[in-house]
């Protein structure tokens, strides 16, 4: 059965542009493996702007804990 997400109100498939512009919701949870520090962020990106998400994740990759200076662990939750 087709999902309403990909079909319009008339039952015909939505255009590729509409599907391409769907939002991707991202929740980033940063934790320190050494101490108890934890921080969470939420953001959303359109599929067409996926490069913005990649740049943001590369920045997170090099973050260190503000308490002890150890590299943080990054866990991502996506809602597509």
Domain ranges of the chain: 23-79
At 26-46, the pLDDT tens digits run 898 999 999 989 999 998 889
Going from the C-alpha of 43 to that of each of 23, 32, 36, 59, 69, the distances in angstroms are 10, 21, 24, 14, 25
Q: In a structure prediction context, what are the per-residue pLDDT tens digits for the chain, which is 80 residues long?
A: 344 444 455 555 555 545 556 898 989 899 999 998 999 999 888 988 888 888 878 887 788 999 999 999 999 899 87
Q: Which two tokens stand for residue 15?
A: 């255009």
């Amino acid at each position: 059965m087709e999902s309403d997400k990909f079909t319009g109100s008339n039952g015909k498939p939505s255009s590729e542009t509409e599907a391409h512009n769907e939002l991707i919701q991202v929740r980033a949870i940063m934790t320190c493996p050494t101490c108890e520090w934890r921080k969470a962020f939420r953001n959303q990106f359109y599929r067409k702007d996926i490069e913005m998400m990649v740049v943001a994740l590369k920045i997170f990759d090099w973050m260190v804990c503000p308490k002890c200076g150890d590299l943080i662990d990054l866990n991502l939750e996506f809602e597509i």
